Copies of this chain bind each other. A is one copy, B any other.
Amino acid sequence: MASIVLINPFEVPAAGEEEFLARWREAADYLRRQDGFVSTRLHASLDPSARFRFVNVADWRSPAHFRRAVGAEAFAQTVRRMPFTSVPGLYRLAAE
């Protein structure tokens, strides 16, 4: 199946990890109920001082499905409560 991949590296200070995980779960619970959601995996760095403490990798059926899901007001509210710098991007598989 041709799907797309959201990759989202997060900068999270040590003091913010618990809050980040709670917010991430809240966002993931919302997103997994949306049309076009395939799967999501949250990665935590082995090195606590890594620049990107967490990286989310999620499969979606298409860019349109993903954009519709995160464009909804309910989700925007969830994200506004998440005070962490991140670098989200949509990707396609280029090579294996």
Could you list which residues of chain A lie within 8 angstroms of chain B, going by C-beta atoms? 4-5, 7, 9, 21, 24-25, 28, 39-47, 50-52, 54-55, 57, 63, 87, 89-96
Contact = CB atoms under 8 A, between A and B. Distances in A.
B92 A46 contact: yes
A52 B96 contact: no
Could you tell me the dominant secondary structure of chain A's interface residues?
strand
Contact of A42 (B9, B44, B96): B96
A4 B46 contact: yes
Contacts of A42: 93-96
6 contacts: A42-B93, A43-B93, A44-B94, A46-B63, A52-B87, A57-B57
Nearest to A45: B89
B95 A47 contact: no
Contacts of A44: 91-92, 94
A57 B9 CA distance: 12
